[in-house]
Amino acid sequence: MPLVVVGSVALDSVETPTETRENLLGGSAVFFSYAASYFTPTWLVSVVGDDWPPEHTELLDARGIDTSGLKKVPGKTFSWRGRYYDDMNHRETLEVNLNVFEDFDPTLAEAHCRCKYLFLANGPPAVQLRVLDQCPGAQLAVADTMDLWIKSSRDEMTELLRRIDGLVLNDSEAKLLTGEENLVRAGHATCALGPRFVVIKKGEHGAMFFSRHETYVLPAYPTPNVLDPTGAGDSFGGGMMGYLAEQGNFEPKTLKKALAYGMLTASFTVEGFSLDGLKKVRREDIEQRMDEYRKMLAF
């Protein structure tokens, strides 16, 4: 089943302890759609400026991602610069230029509006709500968010939480949103705000799932080759939603497998800069890692 993602497309500059790379293909919708494309037809909705290198779009097209919703407007593309410290778990944002993304208020094409699976990547909740309004037939609408919106847009955030089916956010954001320091409590408290399920991402430590009837945690796949964690969270979302859309259901059993697929897809992303880690991957590689992951958790 096709999956629509609305989010950012960016040019990233990344500094790690060993290497600096400039103007890489990045953005939440890029990592998400590339990861999701291993599982299901994926439609990307975003905006870029007139400085956008066409080869980036070609790379997405080559994976079969529908980029007809990627609008080019006058101005510069959203850019981000970040630095990772020794253990790769702590990052500092050095520079953010929203540029054309600042006025991004998408009007979805008719085909996109009819989607059943919708992912609202990190963005202002007001924009996420307006996208949601355009997709009244969405059976599964899941959103990502970040600390900025939790702090600055409480009212829209509250409305969004009442209207979406699932929320994906990281551990510090869950604590900020709920005021609970214990992640199990934070997860349940987030569920109580509306979504049917909540996924708390813990980076290299895996992810936790919460619904009214279920709580579980799955570890991340342990990779020794972490080159650049940028986009891991978005790739997680893409792998998870991609698998759900592929299966065409979001039963508890499917959701749990989707969480695992999200984690495994993300484990490839961190093994290279930008999409380098994911680009080398075929679906068989994900399945092979899934076999290893299942063995790892069996005892």
| Phi, psi of 254, rounded to the nearest 5 degrees | -70, -40
The owner of tokens 């980036």 is: 56
Contact characters 176-205, a second copy, x per CB under 8 A: -----xxxxx--x-------------x-xx
In the bound state with a second copy, the residue whose beta carbon lies nearer, of 89 and 107, is: 89
Q: How far apart are CA 73 and CA 71, in angstroms?
A: 6
- Minimum separation from the CB atom of position 152 to a second copy (A): 23
Q: Considering the rule CB under 8 A, would residue 175 count as an interface residue with a second copy?
A: yes
Site size with a second copy, rule: CB under 8 A? 34
The β-bridge relationship of strands 166-170 and 3-6 is unpaired
- Contact between 299 and a second copy (CB under 8 A)? yes
Please tell me whether residue 131 binds a second copy under the rule CB under 8 A. no
Distance between alpha carbon 45 and the CA centroid of its chain, in Å? 14
Place of tokens 């709500």: 129
Q: How many residues does the chain have?
A: 299
- Residue 210 · residue 190 · CB < 8 Å: yes
Cα(64)–Cα(56) distance, integer angstroms: 13
Of 7-15, 82-90, 146-154, 231-239, which part binds a second copy (CB under 8 A)? Answer: 82-90
Query: Interface with a second copy by CB under 8 A: which range of 33-41, 57-65, 154-162, 216-224?
Result: 216-224
Q: Which of 260, 266, 275, 286 binds a second copy (CB under 8 A)?
A: 260
Selected range binding a second copy among 4-12, 83-91, 94-102, 233-241, rule: CB under 8 A = 83-91
Site for a second copy in 4-43 (CB under 8 A): 17
x/- mask, a second copy, residues 132-151, rule CB under 8 A, reads: --------------------
Q: Are 134 and 113 in contact (CB under 8 A)?
A: yes
Taking a C-beta distance cutoff of 8 angstroms, is the pair 110, 134 a contact? no
Maximum alpha-carbon separation in the chain: 57
Q: How far is the CB of 64 from a second copy (least distance, A)?
A: 27
- Binding residues among 217-256 for a second copy as defined by CB under 8 A: 217-220, 222-224, 226, 253, 256
- What is the C-alpha separation between 72 and 96, in angstroms, rounded? 20
Distance CA 285, CA 287 (A): 5
- If the CB atoms of residues 134 and 267 are measured against a second copy, the closer one turns out to be 267
Rounded to the nearest 5°, which phi and psi values hold at 203? 60, -130
Q: In the complex, which residues of this chain contact a second copy (CB under 8 A)? A: 17, 86-88, 175, 181-185, 188, 202, 204-206, 208, 215-220, 222-224, 226, 253, 256-257, 260, 296-299
